[in-house]
Amino acid sequence: AQKVTQAQTEISVVEKEDVTLDCVYETRDTTYYLFWYKQPPSGELVFLIRRNSFDEQNEISGRYSWNFQKSTSSFNFTITASQVVDSAVYFCALSEPTAGGTSYGKLTFGQGTILTVHP
Amino acid sequence: NAGVTQTPKFQVLKTGQSMTLQCAQDMNHNSMYWYRQDPGMGLRLIYYSASEGTTDKGEVPNGYNVSRLNKREFSLRLESAAPSQTSVYFCASQYRVPYGYTFGSGTRLTVV
């Protein structure tokens, strides 16, 4: 069965520090998708990134970067020079094909990592 | 603003009462989902609708029913609420697989 583990329950850093959020997944499929979502204190969930299993290139978007390594089944998220506005709960999620391979819509989420950035 | 609208935002029910959580999206998305969020457990899928006219069970469907009324609306019904259904419920829509979800703002439900 698919599983996503975010071992870090809470992380606390001081502004301008770099921080990495870990995500490890388990899957039996060769085709799958990985996601990161952000949940700020307001409560809404915001999509950050999607990566498919065939694309191991790292991705950078401003202060955010993602490192996907199939060899270790990990999809880690790094925030460079963190800011107070980065304080949120971050979720990693995995999408696998449904029975029959017809859909990749359903997500399995990790438990989430609470990131607190202090001024 | 375009997006996913959930109502109500807060609700308190007594054990045994029923209610329907409403969800509507105006982005012409095909797929819609209901998740519940509980502390330390992330989000778990209750039901989903891959397209108008179809619904399927997710990981935790017991005690819930859904209706995909049309392409825009996907409601979640609790027929006889139980304290174990105290949670934050999120509706999400998806243009098509495997794009990212757009989530609603959530419904905080307490069953006493």
Strand, helix or coil for residue A73: coil
For chain A, percent helix, then strand, then coil, each to nearest 5? Answer: 5, 50, 45
User: For residue A109, which of A1, A8, A5 has the smallest C-alpha distance?
Assistant: A5
pLDDT digits (tens, 9 = 90+) for A91-112: 999 997 766 555 668 899 999 9
- Quick one: average pLDDT of A5-15? 97
pLDDT digits (tens, 9 = 90+) for B4-40: 999 999 999 999 999 999 999 999 999 999 999 998 8
**pLDDT for position A15:** 98
Nearest to B90 among A9, A45, A103 (CB): A45
CB-based contact, A27 to chain B, within 8 Å: no
| Cβ–Cβ under 8 Å, residues B9 and B105 | yes
**pLDDT for position B41:** 87
**pLDDT for position A2:** 84
**pLDDT for position B97:** 76
pLDDT digits (tens, 9 = 90+) for A45-90: 999 999 989 888 888 889 999 999 999 999 999 999 999 999 999 9
- Å from B62 to nearest chain A CA? 17
What's the CA gap between A105 and A95, in Å, rounded? 7
| Polymer length of chain A | 119
Residues of A in contact with B43 (CB under 8 A): 45, 91, 93, 107, 109
Q: What is the DSSP string of B59-84?
A: S--TTEEEEE-SSSBEEEEESS--GG
**Contact between chains at A47 and B105 (C-beta distance less than 8 A):** no
